[in-house]
Structure 1
């Protein structure tokens, strides 16, 4: 495969189309997701709300870079869906020289190929908003491309495969929505309700932190997405004088983010993992509640909604849900026989959803391998 070297600004030209705002007119701004995950649309705002901010028209076919997140692949092609939309001065719109380059090829080259390193070289700074893409420096970077027919051939192959991956991802999203609807259909209509205090008994296993010991700690994802492992930490590196040790089958939640649905039942693989005092733990009374049922209840959006107004303090990140308010929250709590029946059905639905999630993860890895092959002459 023959490669030709170009300066970036030989291939793409920055095009700015200033918007003359009218106070009463509604406008929609775009944003760009990182890692090549496309453009999203913000809620409509009036020209008056935008105020003095500089904004520019987006046109279909533009190759668009977020100048603050280009270094992590925030690059996209504007489609017909972006017709008439605007972007702030942070979004750089480029016209591609179609005599030398295919827009689709360049798009993937810059977010998933050698071009990401070119962007990073032109984005000085340490991280985040300090890594702004330098337009002149970027334009002067040298890159090598195959001929236009070869670019189109590669782009066609990548497009065909990624469209199928996108379809699988959309099906997974739909599957998750259906699983959540199914949980609502089973849990929502239950009339037998009791406060969580009926099923939970406070039970903590606090240990003193030894500065010379290493501790594996955990946190809880919001919206009932379960526990996750944090990096191991030395006792001398933590501000906490003691840790709470988790046990399998306990109910645990985050005081800080309980209002966001940070609840879980501890799975076997988290036995003995440590959490701070901000994560109260409870034994589940087996005469009142089934552990598997309670695990599904921890994931249920209905319970999360009930906790949204239970936080105390000012500001979203200061709304602690104390133990008393958690335990006073009413939940569907039918007979044990009914709980086990419901749990069995929800577990089957969750297994299907988890299998779909695993497939999407594998497809993402495949997509990375596909892009590596595309830009190394192996496709």
Structure 2
């Protein structure tokens, strides 16, 4: 692939369109997500709220850079949706010289191709808001581009591939929402309710920490998203004198973050993993509660909402939910046959959601691979 070298200023030109604010008018500002994830719209604000802040018009077709976060790919092309919107002085609007460059190609070039390094070279500083894009320095940087015809070909192929990725990701997000909605539709109408103490019986397996041993440890994500494994730790590196050892099928929650929905049923992959004393565990009574049903119940936002006012202490991060308060919480607990019927339906939807999540992980890796292939002459 033949490349021609240009100064950035020969490829894109900075255009600033100052806004003369009109009294009592509302304006909608834009923001830009990092890593090429596009423009978002902020809530409308009045000219009085904007005050003396300098703002500029955005026009469709602008190649827009956040001068604070350009170094991490905060670059986007304004569409017709951004017509009539404004950006603060932090958003640099450029028009593309289409005699030498295709805007769609440049977008990917700057957020995920060789142009990202060009941006970083023009963004001195060590981190975050200290890495502001230097406009003059950026304009004098040299970049190499193929001819416009080749740029359009590559851009078209990237557009098609990225569109498929976006559609699959959107379907995955929809599946996750449907699972939550379906769970709510099945659990909330249940009239048979009982305290969790009917189904759960405290059952901890405390072991003394051996300074010479290595321990697999875990934590709990909020909103019912389950257990996650922490890095292994040596016994002489932990502050805890004892660990609670998990067993498959136990119900476990975090005293510290139970009010945020940090609870789960232990899956087989976490058998024998250790947690601190802040994670009480319980056996599930098989004569009262179905294991699969309780797994879904731990993910249900209705239960999480019930725990929000069960915390004790000052401040959001000190609202411990003690065992008595957890066990006193009422939950939908129908007959075992009905629990199994509900669980079967929810498991089917959840498995579909998990397949989508696995696909999304693979697609997340595919995106940079596509960009590397495009700018390496392999697409």
TM-score norm. by structure 2 comes to 0.91
Give 1:21 shift.
Answer: 4.1
Which residue is equivalent to 1:76? 76
Structure 1, residues 118-156: CA drift from partner, whole Å, max 9, x if none?
Answer: 223333344333433333333333221101111011001
1:101 aligns with 2:108: no
Give 1:346 shift.
Answer: 0.8
Q: RMSD across aligned C-alpha pairs, in angstroms?
A: 2.4
Counterparts in 2 of 1:124-135, with a 5 A limit? 124-135=124-135
Give 1:372 shift.
Answer: 1.4
Distance 1:233 1:124, change over 3 A: farther
Give 1:190 shift.
Answer: 0.3
Counterparts in 2 of 1:29-68, with a 5 A limit? 29-68=29-68
Structure 1, residues 194-214: CA drift from partner, whole Å, max 9, x if none?
Answer: 122222222333344455544
Aligned-partner Cα distance in 2 for 1:264–1:173: 22
Aligned-partner Cα distance in 2 for 1:4–1:164: 31
In structure 2, the residue corresponding to 1:302 is in which secondary structure? Answer: helix
Contact 1:219 1:227 (8 Å CA) reproduced: yes
Which residue is equivalent to 1:156? 156
Question: Which has the larger displacement, 289-298 or 313-322?
Answer: 313-322
Give 1:295 shift.
Answer: 0.8
Which residue is equivalent to 1:226? 226
Contact 1:220 1:226 (8 Å CA) reproduced: yes
In structure 2, the residue corresponding to 1:230 is in which secondary structure? Answer: strand
Give 1:107 shift.
Answer: 0.8
Aligned-partner Cα distance in 1 for 2:322–2:137: 52
Question: Which has the larger displacement, 141-150 or 270-279?
Answer: 270-279
Distance 1:338 1:378, change over 3 A: same
Contact 1:22 1:48 (8 Å CA) reproduced: no
- Name the count of aligned residue pairs: 379
Which residue is equivalent to 1:142? 142
Counterparts in 2 of 1:192-341, with a 5 A limit? 192-341=192-341
Aligned-partner Cα distance in 2 for 1:273–1:174: 33
In structure 1, the residue corresponding to 2:354 is in which secondary structure? Answer: helix
Aligned-partner Cα distance in 2 for 1:134–1:292: 56
Give 1:191 shift.
Answer: 0.4
Distance 1:140 1:253, change over 3 A: farther
TM-score norm. by structure 1 comes to 0.91
Aligned-partner Cα distance in 1 for 2:27–2:15: 20
Which residue is equivalent to 1:343? 343
Unaligned runs of 5+ in 1: none
Contact 1:247 1:271 (8 Å CA) reproduced: yes
Which residue is equivalent to 2:26? 26
Distance 1:87 1:334, change over 3 A: same
Question: Which has the larger displacement, 134-143 or 152-161?
Answer: 134-143
In structure 2, the residue corresponding to 1:216 is in which secondary structure? Answer: strand
Which residue is equivalent to 2:116? 116
In the TM superposition, structure 1's runs of 4+ consecutive aligned residues that sit over 6 Å from their partners are: none
In structure 1, the residue corresponding to 2:231 is in which secondary structure? Answer: coil
Which residue is equivalent to 2:361? 361
Question: Which has the larger displacement, 222-231 or 157-166?
Answer: 222-231
Structure 1, residues 245-264: CA drift from partner, whole Å, max 9, x if none?
Answer: 22211222233332332221
Choose 1 or 2 for highest CA Rg. 2
Distance 1:320 1:129, change over 3 A: farther
Aligned-partner Cα distance in 1 for 2:360–2:209: 40
Aligned-partner Cα distance in 2 for 1:239–1:87: 49
Aligned-partner Cα distance in 1 for 2:236–2:114: 41
